[in-house]
Amino acid sequence: MMLATPDADGYRRLKPMMLRRAGLLSVLVFWSHLAVAQTPTDSESETDADRQPGAEQATRLESVTITGDAVAREKTPGSVHKVEEQSLQQWRYMDVHRVLEEVPGVYVRQEDGYGLRPNIGMRGSGSDRSKKIALMEDGILFAPAPYSAPAAYYFPLMARMQSVEVFKGPSAIQYGPNTVGGAINFVSRDIPGGDEGEEDNRGALDLALGSYGFGKVHGYYGDSTDRYGWLLEGVHLQASGFKDLDGGGDTGFDKNDILLKARYNSDIYAEVYHQFDLKIGYADEVSDETYLGLTDADFDADPLRRYAASQRDEMDWDHQQYSLSHYMDPGGDYAINTTLYRREFSRVWDKLNGFGGDAPTLQSILEQPDTPVNTSFYDILTGQADSTTSTETLLLGANGRDFVAQGIQTQIEWEPEIAGSLHAVTLGIRYHEDEIVRNHTERGYLMQSGQLVADGNPERFTTRNRATAEALAVHLHDTVSVGDLTLSGGVRAEMIDTDFTNRLNGQTLSRSDDILIPGLGVSYRAVGNLRVLAGVHKGFVPVPPGSDDEVEPEESINYEFGLRYNSADLRAEAIGFYNDYSNLTGSCTFSSGCAASELDLGFNAGEVDIWGLEAEVSKTFATGIQGRLRFPVKLTYTWTDSEFKNSFTSPRPDLSHVRVGDALPYLPEHQLTLKAAVTQFNWRAALAIKYVAEMRTQAGSGEPSSAERTDAQTVVDLSFDYQLTDKRQLYLTVQNLFNDESIVARRPFGARPGKPLTLTAGFKMNF
């Protein structure tokens, strides 16, 4: 761990502040284990014969999810959603953007059509590389470097997941560090049980083929006894790509993901139950992906075209994850879960950065290709003309980045009854450290007869730096239930140290931030199945390492108020939200369209108001003999608006010149999703319709010009399942049934399409 830092003599000295924090963490973890281990329980006098299997023992072997069961979610003050395994299995989406479309208050900015590098925002938090929301897999942060470089260039495969949990409002303060929008937890597959039966398969094999060279091989197998269990899972995905590269070539990807889980536990009837879980994973990707889009005219002619200048663009990454967890349950009111984790991520993205010298930017060329200056550069991008001057040299960058994230986290759960009220107290402690090492190079190429040829000049470094972060986070949360009233309150403390070293000029920057993040929520059963809920919490996003001293953390006060109704076959919810930002922050990235010279520059965007409404209703209709023919229907809607309260300029294209009253970019005013299905005992058919209103691509007021907005999108998907036997299944999915050809984004450079009409057919076998 990075508790030591080089001093002037080159020796590594312990950092006093982080040493004190690490010492505090060690004491707290030791105390909590000791306290739980010595807690007397009512079961101490029982014999083995007295003990009977119950809910407590049955749940001990299950993976610990965050949301709990449906009843607990209904009483939760605040917005909590769960995409269940049934929905994931029904649609078999590999793109997390499509998975999250059924959750109100979540926004996405598409980029490559496959969701290789998702852009997800919540309640207006900003979607660029999902870096302002807390992303977790099985409760562990998975962004490559959550504090020092949170942009999510790595994302776990949806094929491995059995559910997705989404948190907004006061509940989000438990999961930080980012709390302005919310948190998403991806729950991976449980280790199979050891009993035979249709509902407890030990393994499965899923094979699929589809449009544009898509192929999937997904298999897993595991087993359990009363004392141990294991799971081995592997996924391979590939596609040749749906874009047509000038001159030919693939525009697709190859992805692999392998995961091993192992569990060892004590007797489930033990007075003090212990469980150890080991998780080891490896994943990699090679994708022929680019940041280069199209001019509007070329998009209208052929939205799937890709320019010749992007022929060498390729992303190559690999990822490893390791975690060891210890869960202890003494059988009383206490339980404690401790996890030691480490993730490593390395990537190199070779892609077009722009032209040499004082040439116009790629964005300028694509927005105005017909100007006298831009015409020649446009012809070179498309391979219609050769490079003849140094200014017409194409600069291709190899953006190499290496990440490490590691830490230890402990969560203590205590559920006492005090003065007739039920409490659910959670104390969470996490010590975390991460780093990113950037080595970006650039080399010149000439366009010659439609092919890129090296110009003979040596490769040069454009960026060489190292950023590190060390953080101690503690949160205390209590949910109190008294009759029809549920109160939920808590506080989170984040103590963060960051260091930044520019290896090109020797500049070093250090920063420390300590912050308290409180939150409070209430839920009251007003009448029957109707609940009223309200909440308020502080939003926070830390300052990235290397930022100037005047850059402040992103902070807001977020409010919500709503109604929730739940019965046996009907669920409805409507929540209004208002986020009052005292300081919105931004940073310059390649994915937001910034130039290499402005990479990772942070800036203050000042005061912003964001408000909106989230609504959801779902109902299942049943008919036929014993209700075997079922019609589940789910409708979600989100309305959002925003306004900057001050003017500023920044190096980021979408926030380059902001004036008072301007609205945020890439924030649709309206989103609507309808999902409906028909199910019988051996078949199922489903329909999904998603509407997203046009989005402005630059902050502004009034009606945006056609060059400063995306198109409104209406996309229809279908899925069909047929059960051949209890353990054999055929399926067919259709995405974008009517081949909607909307402009879904203009970042990083130029107009970009969504995924076109695609068909996938597959066979799944359980065993």
pLDDT digits (tens, 9 = 90+) for 530-542: 999 999 999 999 9
Please choose, from the candidates 380, 232, 394, 369, the residue with its C-alpha nearest in 3D space to the C-alpha of residue 313.
Answer: 394
Residue 275 and residue 228: Cα distance in Å, rounded? 9
Which structure tokens are listed for 641? 């608006």
Q: Where are the domains of the chain?
A: 4-39+64-766
The whole-number pLDDT of residue 55 equals 43
Residue corresponding to tokens 């963490």:
25
Q: Per DSSP, which regions of 567-627 are E strands?
A: 570-587, 602-623
Nearest to 380 by CA among 392, 398, 363, 364: 392
Question: According to the model, what pLDDT value does residue 198 have?
Answer: 41
Quick one: CA dihedral 175, 180, 182, 186, positive or negative? negative
Q: Token pair of 39, please? A: 């807690």
pLDDT at 622: 87
Q: What is the mean pLDDT of the chain?
A: 90
pLDDT for 591: 78
With beta carbons less than 8 A apart as the criterion, state whether 606 and 645 touch.
yes
- pLDDT > 90 fraction of the chain, expressed in percent and rounded: 80
Q: What is the mean pLDDT of residues 623-637?
A: 87
247 CB-near residues (< 8 Å, 6+ apart): 308, 311, 383, 450, 451
Cα separation, 554 vs 551, in Å, equals 9
The phi and psi torsions of 158 (rounded to 5 degrees) equal: -70, -25
> What are the tokens at 315?
């992303």
Residue type, 578: Y
Residue 637 vs residues 134, 467, 647: alpha-carbon distances, Å: 23, 40, 31
Nearest Cα neighbor of 556 from 535, 543, 539 is 539
Work out the angle at residue 439's Cα, subtended by the Cα atoms of residues 430 and 135, and round it to the nearest 5 degrees: 30
pLDDT attached to residue 113: 96
Q: Write out the two tokens for 636.
A: 């979600």
Q: Which pair of structure tokens corresponds to residue 197? A: 């039966």
> Do the Cβ atoms of 392 and 365 come closer than 8 Å?
no
Eight-class DSSP state of 206: E
Stretch 626-645: mean pLDDT: 93
CA 605 to each of CA 210, 286, 496, 555, 679: distance values in angstroms, whole numbers, following the listed order: 44, 36, 22, 11, 50
| Res. 721: pLDDT tops 80 | yes
**Residue 122: pLDDT over 70:** yes
Q: Which one is the CATH code of 4-39+64-766: 3.30.565.10, 2.40.170.20, 3.50.50.60, 3.40.190.80? A: 2.40.170.20
Count helices and strands (H / E) in the chain.
Answer: 8, 39
Cis before 177 (ω within 30): yes
Omega before 748 within 30 of 0, i.e. cis: yes
Cα–Cα distance list, 422 to 54, 320, 488 (Å): 21, 41, 12
pLDDT band at 694 (very low <50, low <70, confident <90, very high): very high
pLDDT tier, 439 (very low <50, low <70, confident <90, very high otherwise): very high
* Residue bearing the bigger pLDDT, 650 or 452: 452
The stretch 487-504 carries a mean pLDDT of 96
Q: Return the residue matching tokens 């299942």.
A: 620
The answer, yes or no, to whether residue 306 has pLDDT greater than 60, is yes
Q: Which residue has the higher pLDDT, 12 or 464?
A: 464
Distance CA 88, CA 108 (A): 18
Q: Is 682 helix (H, G, I), strand (E, B) or coil?
A: coil
- Helix (H) / strand (E) element for 187: namely strand 183-188
Better pLDDT: 581 or 334: 581
pLDDT for 664 equals 97
297, 305 in Cβ contact below 8 A?
no
Residue of higher predicted confidence among 282 and 197: 282
* pLDDT over 60 at 444, yes or no: yes
pLDDT at 39: 41
pLDDT of amino acid 508: 96
Confidence band of 331 (pLDDT split at 50, 70, 90): confident
Rounded to an integer, the average pLDDT of 58-82 is 66
Of the pLDDT bands very low, low, confident and very high (cuts 50, 70, 90), residue 13 is very low
Distance CA 126, CA 153 (A): 16
Mean pLDDT on 212-230? 97
Determine the distance from the C-alpha atom of residue 68 to the mean position of all C-alpha atoms in its chain, rounded to a whole number: 20
Longest dimension (CA), the chain: 90
User: If DSSP states are collapsed to H, E and C, what string results for 547-559?
Assistant: CCCCCCCEEEEEE
* pTM, entire model: 0.92
Quick one: pLDDT at residue 60? 55
Task: Report the distance separating Cα 30 and Cα 141, nearest Å.
Answer: 23
Q: Residue 47 — pLDDT band, cuts 50, 70, 90?
A: very low
CA 602/CA 710 separation, integer angstroms? 26
Query: Would you state the pLDDT for residue 624?
Result: 73
CB atoms near residue 512 (< 10 Å)? 11
Sign of CA pseudo-dihedral 129, 130, 135, 141:
positive
Residue 16 has pLDDT above 80, yes or no: no
Distances (CA, A) of 727 to 87, 215, 220, 432: 19, 22, 14, 43
Q: Which of 27-36, 416-425, 544-553 has the lowest mean pLDDT?
A: 27-36
* pLDDT at residue 653 in the model: 85
Closest C-alpha among 506, 530, 534 to residue 519 = 534
**Side by side, which strands form the sheet with 161-168?**
79-83, 161-168, 183-188, 134-137, 140-141
The helix/strand/coil state of 588 is coil
Statement: residue 652 has pLDDT above 90:
no
